[in-house]
């Protein structure tokens, strides 16, 4: 949200699919009620997304523990659960 503001891009609605309580608290502290938290990305159905209305910009990142070089046993994009989230998000994009 900070970068969009710096670029002069007005954000009418900002949805976040975050599950980490600390990350949610940080976003609430930094942005107040301007972010609507919509729950776990794995529970988002096409129906739920369509009720949110058209979404012009989708940004995302998955947890990176399965991809990180500091992980002593990384499972990669296809072997673990964290990396797979990147692939699961794609069907919702059109």
Q: Give the active site residue among 41, 44, 64, 67.
A: 64
**Residue carrying the six token digits 């949610």:** 24
**CB burial of residue 18 (10 Å; 0-12, 13-18, 19+):** middle
Cβ atoms of residues 74 and 80 within 8 Å? yes
**Residue carrying the six token digits 């998000």:** 89
Q: Is the dihedral of CA 14, 27, 44, 90 positive or negative?
A: positive
State yes or no: is 64 an active-site residue. yes
Cβ atoms of residues 81 and 66 within 8 Å? yes
| Catalytic residue set | 64
């Amino acid at each position: 949200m900070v970068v969009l503001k710096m670029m002069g891009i007005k954000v009418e609605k900002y949805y976040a699919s975050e599950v980490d309580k600390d990350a949610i608290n940080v976003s609430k502290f930094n942005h107040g009620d301007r972010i609507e938290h919509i729950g776990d990305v794995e529970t988002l159905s096409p129906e739920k997304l369509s009720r949110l209305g058209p979404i012009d910009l989708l940004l995302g990142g998955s947890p990176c523990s399965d991809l990180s070089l500091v992980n002593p046993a990384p499972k990669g994009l296809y072997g673990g659960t964290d990396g797979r989230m990147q692939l699961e998000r794609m069907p919702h994009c059109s």
